[in-house]
Amino acid sequence: MRDLNYQLKQLCHRNRDGSYSTQANRQRMLNQIASQLHEMGYRRMSTHSLKPKHVDALVKRWFAEDMSAGTIKNRMNCLRWWAAKVDRRNVVARSNDFYGIADRQFVSNSSKAVTLENQHLLAVKDDYVRMSLELQQAFGASPEIPGLVHNWQYPGVLPWRATLRDQDSALPITVIP
């Protein structure tokens, strides 16, 4: 193990900020950053030798690798954490705008809803699957909900889990003869 990789690992073990998942992700990212610095020719570094030229080289490399803005922001957060722990906060700029990192683009900005026409719904042979698809279309239910249709216990009420709030709800069903 290279010196910088080992020192960053020790730094993570001495500073247990955040949840276990956060700690593990931070250690993994810092290990990757140290390896990338070594590949770029920055050898014999220690945790205290982080400089703006290292940060600039990493950001340029990440842009060249065509990484998403969210990934770059997460890695910048790790670099800021590293700089703060070795008391070198001024090495990494406080704003991502300084490096030209764009805002995150969330997938939820566009709808992924698919509308089924009646002819496609009538082509479904299984009554439960067809009813499940109709419920999904009518109420915006997620694909996990159809499994609950088979466990229908109470006539007139269909139990389901709300997709956004993750709370149990009851959906009244009225059957018109």
Do 125 and 72 lie in one domain? The reply is: no
Q: What is the mean pLDDT of residues 115-134?
A: 80
CA distance 99 to 60: 9
Q: What is the mean pLDDT of residues 59-68?
A: 94
Do 155 and 137 lie in one domain? The reply is: yes
Q: What is the mean pLDDT of residues 57-76?
A: 94
At which of 108, 133, 157 does a domain end? 108
At which of 53, 78, 108 does a domain end? 108
Do 29 and 75 lie in one domain? The reply is: yes
Query: What pLDDT is attached to residue 35?
Result: 95
Do 68 and 148 lie in one domain? The reply is: no
Do 104 and 122 lie in one domain? The reply is: no
Do 46 and 65 lie in one domain? The reply is: yes
Question: Domain for residue 113, yes or no?
Answer: no
| Band (162; pLDDT cuts 50, 70, 90) | very low
Query: What pLDDT is attached to residue 108?
Result: 61
Domains: count for the chain: 2
Do 19 and 82 lie in one domain? The reply is: yes
| Band (164; pLDDT cuts 50, 70, 90) | very low
- For 78-102, how does the pLDDT look when each residue is reduced to its tens digit (9 = 90+)? 999 999 999 999 999 999 999 999 8
For the cut 90, the answer to whether the pLDDT of residue 75 exceeds it is yes
Per the confidence metrics, is the pTM higher than 0.75?
no
Give the domain extent around 10.
3-108
Do 14 and 43 lie in one domain? The reply is: yes
Q: What is the mean pLDDT of residues 119-140?
A: 79
| Band (154; pLDDT cuts 50, 70, 90) | very low
Question: Domain for residue 177, yes or no?
Answer: no
For the cut 80, the answer to whether the pLDDT of residue 171 exceeds it is no
Do 162 and 124 lie in one domain? The reply is: yes
